[in-house]
Amino acid sequence: MSVDDVANELGCSSRHVRRLIDRGKLPRPIRLGSLVRILRADFDHWLQAGCPNLGSASRGRRS
């Protein structure tokens, strides 16, 4: 799924989806050059699991 596809599914902007990816809150994407894709199966599993935070606890945080 493209970033735009994920944004449409979640009802948010593609910019917000990119932020969620950077923070580890979405399934790890596959990067093909400048393209970013999330596997549909990973996305569906993430939704069914209640949208858990998938990043490490310290990722993106400052002490």
**What's the pLDDT score for residue 28?**
94
pLDDT tens track, the chain, 63 positions: 999 999 999 999 999 999 999 999 999 999 999 999 999 999 999 999 999 888 754 444 443
Is 10 within the bounds of a domain? yes
Is 54 within the bounds of a domain? no
SS in 3 state form for the chain?
Answer: CEHHHHHHHHCCCHHHHHHHHHCCCCCCCEEECCEEECCHHHHHHHHHCCCCCCCCCCCCCCC
Is 38 within the bounds of a domain? yes
**What's the pLDDT score for residue 61?**
44
* pTM for this model (two decimals): 0.80
Residue-number span of the structural domain to which 21 is assigned: 3-48
Is 53 within the bounds of a domain? no
CA distances from 48 to 10, 15, 45, 59, 61 (A): 13, 23, 5, 24, 27
